[in-house]
Amino acid sequence: MEPQPIDLSTVLIVEDEAGACARMLALMRALAGPQACIDTASDLTQARAHLQQGRYDLALVDVHLPDGSGIDLIAWMGAHRPQTAAVIVSAYAEEETILAAVQAGAIGYLLKDRDDDELRLSLRSLQSGGAPIDPLIARRILALMQQTPARALPQAPQEQESAAQLSEREREILRLVAQGFSNREIAELVALSKLTIECHTKNIYRKLAVGSRTAAVFEARALGLLN
């Protein structure tokens, strides 16, 4: 699917460290304006309660929380609150954490040690449909994709079966997605409507059990669909 601009009028910050939470709160208030509704949660339990009670445009989620992983929360959101975009804001940049966040459906990954101006610029990109990825994280993701054929673990039979069910057209579109083309550009290349391409990409996401273009490309490489 094409990246969509995100309205920052309702935001949930999931962060257990008081100083970091106050910093993100100040950044979002400066960015979204005084009229924005910005809530905070210090653990998974509070975060789920907020998400079940209200609708949020964006959730900024730390990885390590007192009662579990923020990545598990993002996966839960994908199933129960798919309208809420999720961005990781963490001090951790390990490959396993990055991969898990992308597969769970995070549309961005930022590092806490960046200065306020860098974080503000990255978060502002959401309003124009951007996916805020710290440069260090972007390099790690690219490296992971390049290494995937050698690193890939055996897939469960059901996952293999779903991937095998990709039509030849879906595989063609997936290869173009992997090359960085937008849905509009793919539509022009294969002489189909943009709406048709969006339907195909939704089917690809469903069959590969992913929630983003990055995750779809990563999973496709792991399954050998782009070779």
Ranges of each domain in the chain: 10-145, 154-222
Distance CA 181, CA 73 (A): 30
Q: What single-letter DSSP state applies at residue 83?
A: T
Query: Helices 194-208 and 168-178: crossing angle, nearest 10°?
Result: 90
The predicted structure's pLDDT at residue 141:
74
What strand order describes the sheet that includes 58-61? 37-41, 10-14, 58-61, 85-90, 108-111
pLDDT tens by residue, 123-151:
998 888 878 888 888 777 777 666 655 44
Burial 125-159 (b: 16+ CB within 10 A, else e): bbeeebbbbbeebeebbeebbeebeeeeeeeeeeb
pTM of the model: 0.67
Cβ atoms of 155 and 223 within 8 Å: the answer is yes
In CATH terms, the fold of domain 154-222 is Arc Repressor Mutant, subunit A (1.10.10)
Apex 180 CA angle, 179 and 186, nearest 5: 90
The predicted structure's pLDDT at residue 14:
97
The predicted structure's pLDDT at residue 5:
80
pLDDT along the chain (227 residues), means of 10: 75 96 94 92 96 94 93 90 92 82 88 92 86 82 62 47 72 84 86 87 83 76 75
User: Can you point out the beta strands (E) in 42-162?
Assistant: 58-61, 64-65, 68-69, 85-90, 108-111
- Domain 10-145 class in CATH: alpha beta
Measured in whole angstroms, how far is the alpha carbon of residue 51 from the centre of its chain? 17
